[in-house]
Amino acid sequence: MPGDDIAEAQRVVFGELPDLPHLAELPDRGPGADIIGRTSAFLVDLPVELYVGTWRIAARPGRDLRRAADFLDRDLDQLTEQGDGFTGVVKVQAAGPYTLAANVDLPVGGRLLRDPGAVRDLITSLTEGLRTHVDDVRRRLPGATVLLQVDEPALPTVLAGHVPTESGFSAYRAVETNTAADALRALVSGVGAPVTFHCCAADVPISLFVSAGASALSLDLSLVGSLDPLGEAIDAGVGLLAGVAPTSGARAPGHKDLVDRVRGVWNQLGFSADLLRRQVVVTPTCGLAGASATYAKDVLAACRDAGRRLVEE
């Protein structure tokens, strides 16, 4: 979400998305509120720090990690206060292990991705931290069901072997699909909550996410090249958070436009309207941090109204 006022952002979320609110993230607040810094606050026994504008593994927890943890605590307090008595599904988010590995440095330099052992340690640490986070949210909102969204925007680049080294003249070795699937499967089984995988990049590894145990997929539908893997996922009962609303603009689209975009893809897939009502949620294509506050509020309302329209028809 845009801005730096977590109380206002959380009010907008609960106000416009009463059927599926989420824990707002406000990267405009700076380091520690960004996707990598926020997720680093979940890591267990794997402290990080900022060094020349890049997150890296640290010898011990310091002020950068304390800042990230403080942002998270304040955000959770707002979720607790404004979600008091909530009994539906609430979504929380974190970066996935491969997006972290492609963006966090080793102490000696180079991304974590260069060291398979370090990546394994990262996955173990993140899984334990996210399990604790989910349990914390359950204690704060005892009537709610927690859905964990794992953001993996860098995974297609990791699988393709296109993550550049520091020199820019080469790239880190590609991670094998089976290795990534096994790692994400371990994370899904270890966090103790249903998991939706979000990836708003091209070449989304839909089949990998499904094999890892995804309960749902969050995708920018305009970037899905082949619809066959998506159709197979839906046929297997996987939910779809259908990203069809632009993340910024002068004016938010109307809900009818979003309904048409979802239906256009759904008709190509050839599934029934009843399945659409049961398995699809209408969403923006990605995060809204780059939007104006007015646009963010309006586009969330449009997604809500589009979803309700699809359910009613």
Which amino acid is present at 33? A
pLDDT at 214: 98
Please write the tens of the pLDDT for every residue from 242-268. Answer: 999 999 999 999 999 999 999 999 999
pLDDT at 225 over 90: no
Please write the tens of the pLDDT for every residue from 56-114. Answer: 999 999 999 999 999 999 999 999 999 999 999 999 999 999 999 999 999 999 999 99
Provide the residue count of the chain. 313
Contact between residue 172 and residue 165 where contact means Cβ atoms under 8 Å apart: yes
Q: Distance (Å, rounded) from C-alpha 56 to C-alpha 290?
A: 25
pLDDT at 166: 85
Residue 194, SS3 per DSSP:
coil
pLDDT at 168 over 90: no
Helix 293-312 and helix 6-16, axial crossing angle in degrees, nearest 10: 20
pLDDT at 86: 97
Residue 286: band (very low, low, confident or very high) from pLDDT cuts 50, 70, 90: very high
Q: Distance (Å, rounded) from C-alpha 267 to C-alpha 227?
A: 11
Distance of CA 196 to the CA centre of its chain: 8
Q: Distance (Å, rounded) from C-alpha 63 to C-alpha 140?
A: 26
Kind plus residue range of the DSSP H or E element containing 51: strand 48-51
pLDDT at 169 over 90: no
pTM of the model: 0.96
- Taking Cα atoms as reference points, which of 124, 126, 146 lies closest to residue 135? 146
